[in-house]
Amino acid sequence: MSDVTKDNPFYIENKQKLDDVGPGMCLAKWTQVTLQLQTGHNHSCHHPRTHKISEKEIARNPSALHNTQYKKLRRREMLTGKRPAECDYCWGVEDNSDRFSDRVFKSSESWSLPDFDKIVNADWRENINPRYVEVAFSNACNFKCSYCGPPYSSTWMQEIKQHGAYPTTDKFNGMEGMVAENKVPILHKDYNPYVEAFWKWWPELYRDLHTFRITGGEPMLAKDTWKVLDYIIDEPNPNKDLNFAVNSNLGLDDRMIDKLIGKINKIEDEDRVNEFIIFTSVDTWGEQAEYIRNGLEFNRIWDNMNKILEKCPRVNLTIMSTYNALSVPNYHKLIEGVYDLKRTYGSTDRYWNSAVFLDSSYLRHPTHQTVQILPQYWSNEVFKQAQLTDFLAVPLFENRYIGYSDIEVQKIKRIYDWMASVNPEELTRQRYNFGKYFQEHDKRRGTDFVKTFPELEMFYRECLEIKL
């Protein structure tokens, strides 16, 4: 497989700039934040575990939703040449391959790189408004994805209240764990001090934002999502440089999809944002995708993708794929399906040079569902999928679409690299938990693992036979 990114002079130069400050330097600690307001948690990218936001701090300073004391200490580590332990995802990529990690990609983004000098010359104690913000207002959600949980899904919370934790060694998604981690979600209907602080901070934050993205839960079920959309529509002096994004599982009825389309077109027709991006999630193809993301109707969400792309000609669609053990057998079909969307709706004047972008990241938690627990012969299948993506990466400008971009290809290749870095000492326990989890999953949800994943039947039965 060819590999363009590792030889890209832009990324080579930026990595050197970061390394000159320290081997752990990453601008995302300053410029990016993910806010989980339903639990009062925060992190600067999706790889480290979240940490709790102080209610006392946000009462005095709403920007402490981002500028927590915990995060400031991690910034100090980076500026003094240390690698924060919580950022081990990137250290794993850098130490186990010759590919660039996300700290390089994120620090090279247009919402990060221009602030390089300001950040490295600033005191680590300073407050800074992030340029890239993701926010979840609520855990309201109509899906129960296999690797998700109550903090991010109200339907998951209902299941756990009814049946308790799953019978894995770590008591997966039990109430005790959520209480211990201070992650019991605030109900959507109840008062939330973190949401209150957000709306106090929002007018200041909005002015200088580069990218703003609403996550969930299912954001379209949260009233604050529609409040943000209406704010952008009604604001007399809109931030026209803003790249605005909304997550949605797209498992919504026609009425709500049409309402969303109306808001998108209102915003875009009046040029109130620079880009409008829809993020949706699909982890593999067809019935297997439905099993992973319980509540998903594959044909419905695929039809809704097409409907949005057709009726909103300027919108961009990113398909987030959390690559996990169950993704492997049919992931090639997803690669081909996304490629067909690129062919139908691709355009060189769109964001990322395409209407459709496939963002493949590998699942790390819970460990009993990661791709690393599979027998190594499955890595051959991942290799073939990376080859397929690479093959479909050739631009075809004469047909007004492009194939997979270099970054899309590299993200699949990183999955293959990561499979090889498995810790054999943990495999027995993880495989035991895999069997216990999906056996209970079938009981609670009326699903059938063996019928849905015949390719994994032998592995699944071997997991069920493990004794600890």
Averaged pLDDT in 10-residue chunks for the chain of 468 residues: 68 96 97 97 90 96 97 97 94 88 94 96 95 97 97 96 96 90 90 98 96 96 97 97 97 96 96 96 98 98 96 93 98 97 73 79 94 95 94 68 83 89 91 98 98 98 97
Q: How confident is the model at residue 1, as a pLDDT?
A: 44
Model pLDDT, residue 181: 87
Where among 74, 105, 135 does a domain terminate?
Answer: 135
d(CA 402, CA 356): 10
For residues 127 and 162, membership in a common domain is answered with no
Q: Which residues, including other chains, have CB under 8 Å from residue 251's CB and lie 6 or more apart?
A: 142, 143, 218, 295, 296, 297, 300, 301
Asked if 298 and 278 sit in the same domain, the reply is: yes
Residue 85 lies in a domain: yes
Pairing status of strand 243-247 against strand 211-215: parallel
**Residue at token pair 């964001």:** 351
149 & 107 share domain: no
In a domain, 197, yes or no: no
In a domain, 293, yes or no: yes
3-state percent breakdown (helix, strand, coil) of the chain, nearest 5: 55, 10, 35
pLDDT at 426: 93
CA distances from 25 to 77, 83, 126, 349 (A): 9, 8, 17, 33
Question: CA gyration radius for the chain?
Answer: 22
Q: What are phi and psi of 76, to 5 degrees?
A: -60, -40
198 occurs within a structural domain: no
Report H helices in 5-54.
9-21, 28-31
User: Do 151 and 106 belong to one domain?
Assistant: no
pLDDT for 213 equals: 97
Q: Are residues 114 and 167 in the same domain?
A: no
Domain assignment present for 212: no
- Whole-model pTM? 0.90
Question: What is the number of structural domains in the chain?
Answer: 2
In a domain, residue 211? The reply is no
154, 54 Cβ separation under 8 angstroms: no
Query: What is the extent of the structural domain holding 53?
Result: 5-135
Alpha carbon distance 417, 419 (integer Å): 6
Last residue of a domain, one of 77, 110, 135: 135
E strand map for 208-315: 211-215, 243-247, 275-281, 293-294
Q: Can you give the pLDDT at residue 4?
A: 53
In a domain, 49, yes or no: yes
Q: Of 373, 370, 372, 410, nearest to 389 (Cα)?
A: 410
Same domain as 165, residue 127: no
For residue 346, what pLDDT is reported?
76
Same domain, yes or no, for 169 and 289?
yes
pLDDT at residue number 2? 47
Does one domain contain both 270 and 351?
yes
Do both 148 and 127 map to the same domain?
A: no
- Statement to judge: residues 323 and 432 lie in one domain: yes
Q: Is the residue at 307 inside a domain?
A: yes
Query: Quick one: 391 and 348 in the same domain?
Result: yes
429 with 169: CB under 8 angstroms?
yes
CA distances (Å), 235 to each of 131, 226, 265, in order? Answer: 19, 14, 16
Asked whether residue 168 falls in the same domain as residue 93, the answer is no
